[in-house]
Structure 1
Amino acid sequence: MALSSSTCFCHSQFSLKTDRWAPALTSNILSNIRRNEPASSALKRINPDILSQQVRKRGIKHGNGCSFLRGSRVICQPKLQNLLQRRSHRVSAIGLPSSQIASSVFTLGTAAVLPFYTFMVAAPKAELTRKLMGSTIPYVVLGLLYAYLLYLSWTPDTIRLMFASKYWLPELPGIAKMFSNEVTLASAWIHLLAVDLFAARQIYHDGLQNDIEMRHSVSFCLLFCPIGIVIHLLTKAVLSSVERAEPRTH
């Protein structure tokens, strides 16, 4: 009766099937009974490592990353990949999935900056172009869109991915993993559009102020902003050297 009641207690405590670890348990008890030991003493001599290993194996298979440790204690560890996936596909405050919002903002932001580049290249000295490039509204709008996409893409693991090294510096694998999310990638694109347009505006104003050709430099700023800045600096240097050399020829 002691053996029967103890076995029932173990079954109710762990609520697991004993099809795998029951043979080892039974053989251990029977070997101790043959040595004229009571069944209760035999249960006490059970190897706890065998029991814990079997329970741990069964607990790991329990769904959604839950594991059984030390008998009835349950520790749930949600998978980070599932968390990121649920975050990327969550429904936003306006009722649309985040991925759909990211795609729409990506297209809208790209189309919104094209008129500014068109006016700077096609009519750089027109009064309308001067007013457009003197306005700060485009940067406010792009900044708000960037902040909203950043909010949608933010996860508890974002900071760890951004500063993955022990010196709190970004590392390429972590940044690549972070930008695998469509919303994060769209926010980075809006960030680039805002910075590139601001650099193009600086080149535009510098060209007007110093009477330097800047349309080719502005064009490069649309997709290759660093190259556009270098080209403008080279153009400015070449024209300045030419102007300094002209008086010597007279």
Structure 2
Amino acid sequence: MPNFKLTYFDARAKGEPARMLFHLVGQKYEDIRYDYVGEEWPKIKGDRKSKDYATFLITYKYHSSKAYVHIKYAPGYTVTTTKATKGFPLGQLPVLDVDGELLTQSRAIYRYIARQFPGDYYGKNNLECARIDEILGIVADIEVVVEPAYETPDAAKREADLVKCRDSTLKPSWDFFSESLQKAGGKYFMGNRITIADVVIFNIIDFFLDTIFGLKTYFESYPTLLKFYESIKNDSPLTQYLKDRKKTKY
């Protein structure tokens, strides 16, 4: 069996589903974490900096259900560019090291772990795999929409923005998840067993309910999703992991 090293920030976000999958398959791995604020990560990944560390604000504008990223550099700062390093090919995290072979891109990492071990965590047939890919894609779209919340220091504005998204941009996604879960029987998205789909949906719900955002009533209109979330926490193969894992802000 290969040796696995997962490198991500000291946060849940895009690294946590990989950690959860390693627990599900019972595989030991090295969990390497970097602070996502300060100078540690920029130095390690190999940023080229001029006089000051470049900071920027990212604002998202939505048109025709697509997100377009506009980067506005803060006055008085210079642009930081990232050079690829041996350990971080894209200068991004997460990265999974498999006996020296490096995998980037969170969804590729999730799929690799699920395929590497028995249990049909990536689906037991082509249709299930496609359904799981569908869910992975929707969750990726949700992450793009909610990412500006990380850049919003005002808690009241942050909550208002997230609630507005819930009732507009994200409503089709939550409706789809709720209906899909009901069709599957209400416990797991692929029926009677846990898969990547359940892991990533639990993780995105957890983002709203149990991180610094703490929006306890966010899913009050989606009782099926809340029941699913509580079931994963309290009565699933992930329950012990979720009780024991490190508490983080994000």
Common fold by TM > 0.5: no
Which has more radius of gyration?
1
Structure 2 length-normalised TM = 0.28
Higher RCO (C-alpha under 8 Å, 6+ residues apart): 2
Larger strand proportion of the pair = 2
